[in-house]
Amino acid sequence: MTALIDRLRSELRHTRESERRMVDLGLPEQAREALALQDLSRLQAAAVLVPIVARLPEPTLLLTQRSDRLRRHAGQIAFPGGRADPDDRGPRDTALRETEEEIGVARGQVEVIGYLDDYPTVTGFRVTPVVGLLSPDAHYAPDGQEVVEVFEVPLQFVLDKANYQREVFKRDGMEVPYHAVPFGERYIWGATAAMLKHLQERLEGHAG
């Protein structure tokens, strides 16, 4: 294992599925007030896997390219994951099930090492990021329906705060900031970039 994965383990080893918080979105006051008007308890449960591939000499982050035909988040870069099913036994189960369905990685090939804070989305979900380690030998088979491509990004790249941009979009008359982390011709933004920024900040604080 690399030193970077050791840092991940150290930072996340105390996180538990039952002890998650809602992430601080860093929204302006007007947007925070609008969000507070919503009943966050009514957000639908969802989970994603944040898959770290234990490659040598340096680990990578696995991401997916979503199909252009989807109703939500069409064509975007995302983690494997989705909404919880009634039979799921929690966010871990949801993330591992969805990962197997979307990219063909069996749950036995994933070592879950911890959780990031939950993320509320404008589409009505409370998403739990489940951080897991994958073997470099793991085989990927995108389902072609939700996921059309799987690719890897150096983990060190997304843990470098210099690679993040802060952009703004307008919604209901408000200017709402969001994170983006371009990688070559790929544009990682929105919830995925926000979760990565949270991971970057967690590890930066650990390193300090």
Whole-angstrom CA distances from 59 to 3, 62, 130, 160 are: 10, 10, 17, 14
| CA atoms of 125 and 123, how far apart (whole Å) | 6
| CA atoms of 1 and 111, how far apart (whole Å) | 13
Question: What is the model's pLDDT at position 167?
Answer: 85
Question: What is the model's pLDDT at position 122?
Answer: 72
Q: What is the pLDDT along the chain (208 residues), one digit of tens a residue?
A: 688 899 999 988 878 776 667 665 554 444 455 455 455 567 889 999 999 999 999 999 999 998 766 566 556 899 999 999 999 999 999 999 999 999 999 999 999 999 998 888 877 788 999 999 999 999 899 987 888 899 999 999 999 999 999 887 776 666 677 889 999 999 999 889 999 999 999 888 644 3
Q: Which domains can be identified in the chain, with CATH numbers?
A: 3-154 (3.90.79.10)
Question: What is the model's pLDDT at position 182?
Answer: 95
